[in-house]
A and B are shown apart, each in its own frame.
Chain A
Amino acid sequence: MEADSRAAQRGQKRSTLVTNRMRIDQQVREAVDGLELPFNALGVDPYGVSKRHLRIGLGMLAVAYRYYFSVQTSGIHNIPPRGRAMLVGNHSGGIPIDAAMAIASCLLEMSPPRLAQGMVEKFLYRFPFLGEWAARTGQFVGLPENAERLLENERLLLVFPEGARGTAKLFGQRYSLVDFGSGFLRLALKTHTPIVPFVVLGAGDAFPTIANLYALGRLLGVPYVPIPAYGLPVALPASIEVKYGAPLVFEGTGNENDEVVQGDVGKVKDVIARMLAEGARKRRGDPDPPGSDTP
Chain B
Amino acid sequence: MRVLIPGASGALARRLALQLSRSGHEVIGIDRRPWPAPPIEFHEVDVRKRAAEDIFRRVRPDVVVHMATVTSLIVKGEERYQINLGGTRAVFEYSRAHGVKHCIFVGRHTFYGAGPESPLSHVEDEPPLELHRFPELADLVAADLYAATALWRFPELATTVLRVCYTLGPSGHGTLANYLRGPRVPLVLGFDPLFQFLHEDDVVRAIELALIHRVSGVYNVSGPRPLPLSTLVREAGRTRVRLPEFVLAGILGRFGFPQLPTGALGHLKYPIVVDARAFQERTGYAFKYDELETIAAFKAAFPTPP
| A residues lining the B interface (CB < 8 Å) | 40-42, 44, 46-48, 50, 122-123, 125-132, 135-136, 140-141, 143, 145-146, 149-150
Contact = CB atoms under 8 A, between A and B. Distances in A.
B228 A125 contact: no
Contact of B226 (A48, A123, A125, A130): A48
A48 B117 contact: no
B188 to A, nearest CB: 8
Contact of B192 (A46, A132, A146): A132
Given A40-B291, A48-B271, A131 B116 contact: yes
A48 B226 CA distance: 7
A146 B120 contact: yes
A150 B120 CA distance: 9
A256 to B, nearest CB: 24
B117 A122 contact: yes
Contact of A128 (B123, B190, B226, B270): B190
Contacts of B245: 128
Contacts of A140: 120
B245 to A, nearest CB: 8
Interface residues of B, number: 25
Contacts of A141: 116-119
B190 A42 contact: no
Interface in B103-122: 116-121
A183 to B, nearest CB: 15
Contacts of A44: 225, 227-228, 231
A283 to B, nearest CB: 38
Most buried by B among A122, A136, A143, A145: A145
A41 B123 CA distance: 27
Given A48-B194, A48-B226, A48-B228, A145 B189 contact: no
B38 to A, nearest CB: 40
B120 A47 contact: yes
B191 interface: yes
Contacts of B231: 42, 44
A136 B192 contact: yes
Interface of B: 116-121, 123, 188-192, 194, 225-228, 231, 235, 244-245, 270-271, 291-292
A157 to B, nearest CB: 13
B127 to A, nearest CB: 13
B270 A125 contact: yes
Nearest to A50: B228
Q: Which 9 A-B pairs have the closest CB atoms?
A: A128-B190, A125-B116, A129-B190, A46-B225, A48-B194, A132-B192, A126-B116, A146-B120, A145-B119
A132 B190 contact: yes
B191 A128 contact: yes
Nearest to B195: A48
A42 B227 contact: yes
Contacts of B225: 40, 44, 46
Nearest to B190: A128
A193 to B, nearest CB: 17
B117 A143 contact: yes
A176 B226 CA distance: 42
Given A42-B227, A135-B192, A145-B123, 15 more contacts: A42-B231, A44-B228, A46-B226, A50-B228, A122-B117, A125-B270, A128-B245, A129-B190, A131-B191, A135-B271, A136-B192, A141-B118, A145-B120, A146-B119, A150-B120
